[in-house]
Structure 1
């Protein structure tokens, strides 16, 4: 498939489910700064979407995944999902037939991308849509499937409840992430008692209310940082009174500071260029 850019036209896109190949790959290169959203949709084929620059969020029923640079999201075939891209976006996507490899993940997940997987996606994206399946191309796709199946899963997932009251409350929290609030205050907005809110969020997400809010903050922070925001901006957007307190939370959750986290990912992108 061609590399899809800001100047691509509708005829450049070929619906992957209509291509009689086990793997269909294409590249994405957009210099537009802003937000691009794809509403809920699904594909028969599974999809791995690698981000080299910018950031993606992927919402599937039951969860939200953030995809920073040098990571990818895997979306199983048939899964209803919505995509939001933040900042100038560059990456690659491969659509994989559900019967191509039994080891492929059965659930949506974010995975780290090693250099070999990145280069395989780059090479596969340069092939014609209806590439010759025998010989070298067959071996290329076999190794690509090996790398997808064995990629390390990252903890950039936010469980999303199905209870309508909780979903309404979460929409409020995501629309105003700087509102720190208290458990009592959030419960009142949801029309619930504190005890009921704690019980519901634990039952539907497997997390405490505090842990869920912290994970939401980390997810939003990664998305904003990948979109070009500074650590100071992100701390303010999340309602932290000081940058150090935000950095401490980020480090406890992801094991490193926000600046080092993004620097490592951008250095990985440049190394592959």
Structure 2
């Protein structure tokens, strides 16, 4: 059983097997920017993880997992207590499940397979027996997993350095006053660097955060209030417009 304490030294790139799985529990952790020679599948078994890439960010509640290709700089932050599972794949010996960074829905079967793989000893032989079957099922499930459009592009323009993406982004006029940049300039920056207007980007942020809060067990009323909606019905209408489903149905289908 490969259960790592936060203080345990670990470097998947130094291990010999083509597949390495780990399980760990952390509280208020910041990995700092880093990368791996192996590709990484990362999943929050309980709690939520924020994953940051050079040009995008996302939140991983227990209904989603991320594939980080080899050599991709990333940073993982945890605000509360999280149990996470991670599987590292050597692409020289195991086919990559996706061509680039991807966030996909965690199915019940994939969740069970992922759990078993993450707890296998580091010296497991993945070329035979039950371990080989587990790997095959995992890759098959990943091949058909539903992709989630939950990677939010982040502008790099230094004039927006004071925009805190950890908190609810302000309205356009408010942001303009805070950073001393015209609304037209802000809109131009967001169009150029994210491919969407500031308002569309802000709505995408709210959706990302809404799914995180709902998946953590908070009710619609609390989520609507936290995200600045005037009422439950306004939040539900927004959520349905963005996803095609009510909040409850969305979470139930992915839980």
Which residue of 2 is the match for residue 271 of structure 1?
A: none
> For residues 202 and 3 of structure 1, do their structure 2 counterparts lie closer, same or farther at Cα, with a shift above 3 Å needed?
same
* Comparing 94-103 and 194-203, the one that deviates more: 94-103
- Report the Cα offset of residue 251 of structure 1: 1.9
**TM-score if structure 1 supplies the norm length?**
0.81
Which residue of 2 is the match for residue 20 of structure 1?
A: 16
Structure 1: stretches of 5+ with no match in the other structure: 269-273
Which residue among 21, 30, 36 is the counterpart of 1:37? 30
Which residue among 250, 253, 265 is the counterpart of 2:242? 253
Question: Are 2:62 and 2:106, in contact at CA under 8 Å, matched by a contact in 1?
Answer: no
Aligned residues: 254
More strand by share: 1
1:152-163 alignment runs, 5 A limit: 152-163=146-157
- Report the Cα offset of residue 159 of structure 1: 0.7
Which residue of 2 is the match for residue 190 of structure 1?
A: 179
1:87-236 alignment runs, 5 A limit: 87-136=80-129, 137-168=131-162, 170-171=163-164, 174-175=166-167, 177=168, 180-181=170-171, 183-236=172-225
More helix by share: 1
Q: Deviations over 1:88-144 (max 9, x none)?
A: 433421011132345432432211122332222222223211112432133432442
Question: Are 2:17 and 2:125, in contact at CA under 8 Å, matched by a contact in 1?
Answer: no
- Report the Cα offset of residue 167 of structure 1: 3.6
Quick one: distance in 2 between partners of 1:9 and 1:85? Answer: 12
- Report the Cα offset of residue 194 of structure 1: 2.2
- RMSD (CA atoms): 2.5
**TM-score if structure 2 supplies the norm length?**
0.86
